[in-house]
Amino acid sequence: MQPNVLGYNESTRIGKPQMNPDLETPRLILREECLEDAERLFSYRQRPAYWQHIPCHPPTRDDIVAQIAHFLPQQSAHDRTMFFWVAIEKATCLVTGEASLWLLPDHGAEFAFAVDNRHWRKGYGSEIVRGILRFGFHSLRLHRLCAQVVPSNIASIALLRSLGMVEEGVLRERRRARGRWFDLAQFSMLEQEYARRGF
């Protein structure tokens, strides 16, 4: 079967978009990451507010450069499975957040997101997640999108709930970082739930 206009094959449904996967929300552009973003990402990822509820080690500038460089080939990969975006505030053209999505078997994907803490509670996190859900369900035609969050991450959990994502349970001591174990609460949305919500 021929790929359709968006570049994915209807027989597999999993998107292999040939299109530019940049996304737009009312106040943000989600553009694929490039090496020039490293400095700006480092400026907020180094703050405890960023990684406090994320099971990771505080990243160095070099870690961020290496991570971007590692995933750059994905942007032109034929069978791409990962997407990394920076969220650019339209009003200022500055990076104010980020998002990522990676495909899982059986028409699924997991995503993650963050906002520079100088811009929290302005609705940017919700815009980013709405953009990701739209990309996953509309463009990639996925069946299920999920996100995993440390249970102490009240902000992220409230955001996911407010968009209708359903908590499925807690993966106990799923990740190890900073010398300790982290539980992860899993949230998901299915394509029929997304269609009912209509955003």
Ligand X SMILES: CC(C)(COP(=O)(O)OP(=O)(O)OC[C@H]1O[C@@H](n2cnc3c(N)ncnc32)[C@H](O)[C@@H]1OP(=O)(O)O)[C@@H](O)C(=O)NCCC(=O)NCCS
In the complex, which residues of this chain contact ligand X (CB under 6 A)? 50, 53-54, 112-115, 120-126, 147, 149, 153-156, 158-159, 162
Q: Cβ 104 to ligand X, closest distance in Å? A: 15
- Check: CB of residue 40 under 8 Å from CB of residue 95: yes
Q: Cβ 191 to ligand X, closest distance in Å? A: 21
| Shorter beta-carbon distance to ligand X: residue 51 or 190 | 51
- Residue with the two structure tokens 């570049």: 7
| Shorter beta-carbon distance to ligand X: residue 140 or 147 | 147
Q: Cβ 111 to ligand X, closest distance in Å? A: 8
Q: Cβ 50 to ligand X, closest distance in Å? A: 5
Phi-psi region of 104 (alpha: psi -120 to 50; beta: other; left: phi over 0): beta
Tell me the helices (H) and strands (E) count for the chain, helix number first: 6, 8
User: What residue number has its CB nearest to ligand X?
Assistant: 125
- CA-based angle 145:150:153, to the nearest 5? 100
